[in-house]
Chains A and B, each alone.
Chain A
Amino acid sequence: MVSHVPDERLVDVMEGRGAADRAHVEGCPQCRARLAEAQAGLELASGAGMPEPLPLYWESLRRQVSRRLDEETARRPAFWRRVWLGPALAAAAVLVGIVTYLPTATHHPTPAPERHLPAWSALPPADEDEGLDFLRAVAPVVADAAPAVVCSGVAECVADLSEDESQALTEQLREAMDEGKKL
């Protein structure tokens, strides 16, 4: 069985290369016919000129391209603005969120306990306070618990009381006053 020269190697023969294949082609009518067909096609293609535009056309083409590039360049900032606006807004929103959220996230301020000044906080000093003796009389337990040595007066003593102590004192005072009214 005769193996013919492949198409791509016939191109080499057509271009003056491939001596071995050329020898085959010369002795092979089929390969010779294939080569002749391709050579005829090449001759036809090579001989087919194309109408050349007028010389002025090249200037016109260059200007048309340049104008379209100008338009494109002019549109580009708008394009980039459009492209970047979304992410930029999103980034700004995230930033604002971070700035406003972070303090609340890391530091949860609990409302300062409402400090009600006791009504007797404006009482006079101990040596002028007539009520102190009265307090001692009606509430000896509380009075004994109170640091009498360091308290210079009722106001100072009660100011150092805890909430519970203040509450207890208030209750005892109320009871004592009720008893006094009854008496």
Chain B
Amino acid sequence: MADESAAELAPSRRHEDDRDAVAACQGGEREAFDRLVEKYQRDVYRLCYRYVSNHQDANDMAQEVFLKAYRALDRFRGDSTFSTWLYRIAVNTCLNFRAARRPESAELPETLPDKSQGALEQLEQDERSRQVREAVTRLPDKQRATLILKVYHDLTHEEVAGILGSSVGTVKANLFHALGNLRKMLATEAGE
């Protein structure tokens, strides 16, 4: 996962720690799961946020992901890494989630805090980002999942394939279509 706290550790060490924590959880040590939550909550939340583009839904979904993981932990046999397994739960939760709220609105504050050139540029950039995020939420499910995992979580094609249960070729094709569709949607909105 791309989380900075998790990324500080070498992958093998990280997975070893995860295995120990999972084993402790399976042995009934609840606190060990708290450590896993602490470690992966940022990645899970960000994945969820990219899916729905609003904080409240992302917060609900992130909690749901961890509860599902906790309930299913007894069935985790370590065939994949814990992070891949958790991502799979997160993606499935996102795919099954019906957004209760609309993407966060683009309304600007009535009074701008700063009228300097830098502040205006920042506002424009924020608005462009919001438009992209909102466009991402309108991509077909598999394309959206692929783009989010690949672009925002910096996973390899193989890792994405493992999470989504598809082939590497399919992942690449989905990514290609997602990027093309995103570009077309935004060009249409911009009147290009």
Residues on A facing B (Cβ under 8 Å): 6-12, 34, 37-42, 44-51, 53, 58, 61-62, 64-66, 68-70, 72-73
Inter-subunit contact A41/B70 (CB<8 Å): no
Q: Is B77 an interface residue (CB 8 A)?
A: no
Q: Which single member of B41, B63, B67, B133 contacts A48 (CB below 8 Å)?
A: B133
Q: Is B99 an interface residue (CB 8 A)?
A: no
Cα distance A7–B172 in the bound complex, in angstroms: 7
B91–chain A nearest beta-carbon distance, Å: 17
- Tell me which residues across on chain B come within 8 A of A42, comparing CB atoms: 151, 179
Please count how many residues in chain B sit with their CB below 8 Å of the partner chain's CB atoms: 44
Inter-subunit contact A65/B67 (CB<8 Å): yes
Inter-subunit contact B147/A45 (CB<8 Å): yes
Inter-subunit contact A69/B147 (CB<8 Å): no
B50–chain A nearest beta-carbon distance, Å: 7
- Tell me which residues across on chain A come within 8 A of B147, comparing CB atoms: 45
Inter-subunit contact B50/A50 (CB<8 Å): yes
- Tell me which residues across on chain B come within 8 A of A39, comparing CB atoms: 179
Cα distance A41–B42 in the bound complex, in angstroms: 25
Inter-subunit contact B151/A46 (CB<8 Å): yes
Known: A44-B132, A45-B132, A45-B151. A69 touches B180 (CB 8 A): no
Inter-subunit contact A61/B62 (CB<8 Å): yes
Q: Is B24 an interface residue (CB 8 A)?
A: no
Q: Which single member of B66, B169, B186 contacts A44 (CB below 8 Å)?
A: B186
Cα distance A104–B186 in the bound complex, in angstroms: 84
- Tell me which residues across on chain B come within 8 A of A45, comparing CB atoms: 132, 136, 147, 151-152, 179, 182
A68–chain B nearest beta-carbon distance, Å: 6
- Tell me which residues across on chain B come within 8 A of A38, comparing CB atoms: 176, 179-180, 183
Closest 3 CB pairs of A and B: A41-B179, A48-B132, A8-B172
Q: Is B19 an interface residue (CB 8 A)?
A: no
